[in-house]
Structure 1
């Protein structure tokens, strides 16, 4: 299992880029490789609260992966935690 925890940038369907912190890991179940984790944006907006499929997550050194939002939950009054599922090869 590979992991990544650190800065990341989520690109929404409309091209808006949102900086934040990601915590990601790979999973191996029944011969299938998958990856996912969470993303905590620096700034909260309606666009990120309502995000769905067709997004990309960029890690340092131009490593990018395709992701879908599987859930959003409130952490504090001004913070949210976005659950992500990756598709394709993990960028870490």
Structure 2
């Protein structure tokens, strides 16, 4: 089973809007706790994305989808942000 994924992804907001970008994800299995998470760098930054927190879906190629929550957001450059994600349920990779 793959424990990391890095590549194209789409973040699907609660209202159904899709934001394309690049994801870097991994599973973390420490001390009996399993989960997954990582970062998402959107191609465009929208107000809806800035306000997004929970109930989001992350879609990877080949229709693999996982539920995520935004745990943080930081500016990379003047026009780019890096969104920190925490996965819920099984990892889609």
Structure 1 residue 30 displacement after superposition? 1.7
Q: TM-score, normalised by structure 1?
A: 0.97
Q: 2:23 matched to which residue of 1?
A: 22
CA distance, structure 2, for counterparts of residue 60 and residue 45 of structure 1? 23
Range that drifts further, 44-53 or 59-68:
44-53
Structure 1 residue 71 displacement after superposition? 0.3
Q: How many equivalent residue pairs?
A: 92
* Runs (4+) off by over 6 Å: none
- In structure 2, stretches of 5+ residues that fail to align are none
Structure 1 residue 39 displacement after superposition? 0.2
- CA-to-partner distance for each residue in 1:8-66, whole Å, 9 max, x for gaps? 00000111000000000000122121000000000111111111000000000000000
CA RMSD after TM alignment: 0.9
Trace 1:10-89 onto structure 2 (pairs within 5 A).
10-89=11-90
Range that drifts further, 15-24 or 25-34:
25-34
